Amino acid sequence: MKKIRIGLIGTGYMGKAHAIAFKTAPAVFSLDTEVTFEMLAEVNDDLASTKASELGFRRSTGDWRQLVTDPDIDIVDICSPNYLHKDMALAAIAAGKHVYCEKPLAMCANDALEITLAAEQAGVKTLVGFNYAKNPTIQLAREIIQQGEIGEVVHFRSVFNEDYLADPDTPFSWRLKRQLSGSGALNDLGSHIVNLAQHLVAPINEVCADSRTVHRQRSLSGQPDNQAEVENEDLIQMMLRFSNGATGSIEASRIAWGRKNGLWFEVTGTKGSLIFDQERLSELHIYQAGQQQARQGFKRILTGPEHPDYMNFCVSAGHGLGYNDMKAVEVRDLLQGVAADQPIWPDFRAAYQDHLVLDAAEASCREQRWVKIPASVTVAGSIKDNNKQSEQTTGVLSGRNPVGVN
């Protein structure tokens, strides 16, 4: 049994989800690792101590810098607001820690590159929380696409809509301030779809985007006479051109009434189509050409034990998994990668490649034109063409297949 000691920073929505996943993953996947909940950091000592006892961590601190340099921590897990990711990740890498960071990795591609190169030079393992790709249903979708079962992919149409800010009376938060969040719906929701699009289809070469902030002011702490300016977009839409010739679109909105976890996509190939809806996350709809005219239609596949990673959770098909289960798969990949010294997907480099697309989308909104995704910078400082599949994704860089990519 390899002992892996966790240091968790931030205990809001994601911090709790990660703590649950670190408890679930070893039980579900019978891992060869023993997880120790070593230390937790929050904004002050009191909150840290309360959360440590709630979530089962041995020690706590009100100073994250103490956590990242603690000699008894192997993995630093960053679940703080976006603007803190860079400093926390760089400090953890400098201390020789493996780093698990929530998305978006950074505020822009340059920062993501800086963190990526630091991690690659230090030789530490990294993983970014693009959990939707870990769903057995999405893994199945990728398998179907990779095996050519819907032919050559020609189109990817997707949305990620939620309504957590649809009510104009919802107060201001860090997510609405550029300095703390970066972009709005794009960083928060669109980043997941960009990651999925590149995972399922191919690297994105070019985007043309447009965005809008509908609710331009929000109250501070719910006091109506104390308003703050909303500094980033409520919704964004973009057209895509992929390196393999496919085209597509992404929409993301945080003000889409009624949409709670509305991540949806349709992949169209030359021989069929796939449809996925995250609000029905254990279902995949497939249409395959060649059916007799009078029997044509989409088939609904309910994920079950025959599909990747499902069996470990449940031996019966169609019983359905949940959001936290995807996090458990993600944490399984992290623990396996660290224990076996294998590359993990999606690592910081994969997130950097997503950031290049996010930056291009923002530039396109500003300049109202198509924007090409620049070539990415590799470890050696040389430039890599986006027309080729990610080295990290295909395992070429290390010569070994990354954990977490089927």
Ligand X SMILES: NC(=O)c1ccc[n+]([C@@H]2O[C@H](COP(=O)([O-])OP(=O)(O)OC[C@H]3O[C@@H](n4cnc5c(N)ncnc54)[C@H](O)[C@@H]3O)[C@@H](O)[C@H]2O)c1
Residues in touch with ligand X (CB under 6 A) = 9-15, 41-43, 64, 79-82, 84, 102-103, 129, 131, 188
Beta-ladder partners of 272: 288
Cis omega (within 30 of 0) on the bond before 104?
A: yes
* Rounded Cα distance, 82 and 62, in Å: 18
Q: Give the nearer residue to ligand X in terms of CB position, either 165 or 208.
A: 165
**At its nearest, how many Å lie between ligand X and the CB of residue 134?**
10
Provide, rounded to whole angstroms, the least separation between the CB of residue 242 and ligand X: 24
Q: Which residue of the chain is nearest ligand X when measured via CB?
A: 12
Min dist. Cβ of residue 174 to ligand X (A) = 7
Q: Which residues are paired to 41 by β-bridges?
A: 9, 61
Confirm if 25 and 335 have CB atoms less than 8 A apart.
yes
Is residue 239 within 8 A of residue 247, CB to CB? The reply is yes
Residues 6 or more apart in contact with residue 204 via CB below 8 angstroms: 194, 197, 198, 240, 241, 242, 243, 357, 373, 386
**Closest to ligand X by CB, 41 or 165:** 41
Q: Is the peptide bond before 224 cis (omega within 30 degrees of 0)?
A: no
Count the neighbouring beta carbons within 10 Å of the beta carbon of residue 378.
Answer: 16
User: Quick one: 206 or 218, whose CB is closer to ligand X?
Assistant: 218
**What are the backbone angles phi and psi of residue 194, rounded to the nearest 5°?**
-60, -45
Q: With respect to ligand X, which residue has the nearer C-beta, 221 or 382? A: 221
C-beta of 191: minimal distance to ligand X in Å?
8
The nearest distance, CB 88 to ligand X, in angstroms, is 8
Q: What residue spans of 39-96 are helical by DSSP H?
A: 45-55, 64-68, 85-94
Q: Compare residues 67 and 208 and give the one whose CB is closer to ligand X.
A: 67
User: Phi and psi at residue 278, in whole multiples of 5°?
Assistant: -60, -25
- Which H or E run contains 326? helix 323-340
Cβ closest to ligand X, residue 183 vs residue 237: 183
The CB-of-105 to ligand X minimum distance in angstroms stands at 9
Looking at 95-135, list the stretches that DSSP marks H as alpha helix, in order from N- to C-terminal side.
109-122
Minimum Å gap between C-beta 12 and ligand X is: 2
Smallest gap from residue 23 Cβ to ligand X (A): 17
Query: Of the two residues 9 and 338, which places its CB atom closer to ligand X in the complex?
Result: 9
Residues 6+ apart with CB under 8 A from 108: 182, 355, 359
Alpha helices in 249-309 (DSSP H): none
Q: Alpha-carbon distance 30 to 93, whole Å?
A: 28
Return the number of the residue (45 or 306) whose C-beta is nearest ligand X. Answer: 45
